[in-house]
Amino acid sequence: MIEVKNLTKYYNFAERPAVKNVNFLAREGEVTVLLGPNGAGKSTTIKSIVNLLNYQGEVNICGYPNHSLEAKRSFGYVPEVPILYDLLTVEESINFIGKAYRLQNYRETAEAYLELFELTAQKDKLSKELSKGMRQKLSMLLALLIQPKALLVDEPMVGLDPASIEAVLQLFIRLKEQGTSVLISTHIIDVVNDIWDCAYIMKQGEIVREIHRGEEGSETLKQIFFETTAEGKA
């Protein structure tokens, strides 16, 4: 479970907050999506949750304050732009995370994800030698290596080919079946159309709509998104 309470973020010298009084839950066994147009505050929210930014408010992950060791051991984060160790190979990057987190039996987990992401043949390549999509998949693999109870993914499908997109969608479904809280930020609704359980629509730094699967009526999530974020709407 990821619990966000009264999250507000002002960047240095900004007059307006990038995120204003945001409250939401990403429940266990569900895919929660943060939707919003460019600049709505999605990445700022995710970066605040994983403690990469200073902010006002309270964030708990699996019941622990997000800055605690317990929380840090519980979540995986996949940023929009992968942050990798360029001079480590894929194999070395896996071993680095395995040792840093003191993981038991991480090799088995790694092999399964290397296969899923079709990275097995790239094991000896340096991270800097990988293609954009391969870097994205390695970033996801490293976040999954710790078998996180909460997974936060910022724009998961950017740069991925159709087979990889399908593999990642199936993976998200499997993770939620295993009870993981999956939080995805995206402005591409088609990507999450089949897997979302709860959606929070952001506009100008605020959550302007919360919707649970089944509440859409005859409308699609995309229609609700466009109605909610249309110019002139509060």
Ligand X SMILES: Nc1ncnc2c1ncn2[C@@H]1O[C@H](COP(=O)(O)OP(=O)(O)OP(=O)(O)O)[C@@H](O)[C@H]1O
Cα(182)–Cα(32) distance, integer angstroms: 6
Burial of 99 (0-12, 13-18, 19+ CB in 10 A): exposed
**Nearest distance in Å: CB 222, ligand X:** 16
Nearest distance from residue 109's CB to ligand X, in Å? 30
Q: Pick between residue 53 and residue 103 the one whose CB is nearest to ligand X.
A: 53
Minimum CB distance to ligand X smaller for 41 or for 156: 41
Q: Is residue 48 within a helix (H) or strand (E), and if so which, with residue range?
A: helix 42-49
Give the integer Cα–Cα distance in Å for 46 and 24: 12
Nearer to ligand X, 40 or 90 (CB): 40
User: Residue 52's Cα: distance from chain center in Å?
Assistant: 14
Q: Considering the complex, state which of residue 32 and residue 44 has its C-beta at the smaller distance from ligand X.
A: 44
User: Closest approach of Cβ 73 to ligand X, in Å?
Assistant: 26
Q: How many CA atoms lie within 13 A of 124 on its CB side?
A: 1
Q: Residue 94 in contact with residue 145, Cβ under 8 Å? A: yes
Tokens of 226: 């466009």
124, amino acid identity: D
Q: Which is nearer to ligand X, 83 or 163 (CB)?
A: 83
Q: Please report, as ranges, the residues that interact with ligand X according to CB under 6 A.
A: 11, 14, 18, 36, 38-44, 187
Q: How far is the CB of 204 from ligand X (least distance, A)?
A: 8
What is the rounded distance in angstroms from the CA atom of residue 40 to the CA atom of residue 49? 16
Closest CB to ligand X among residues 42, 176: 42
Report the DSSP pairing between strands 56-61 and 64-65. antiparallel
Residue 49 beta carbon to ligand X: minimum distance, rounded to whole angstroms: 12
CB 223, min distance to ligand X, A: 20
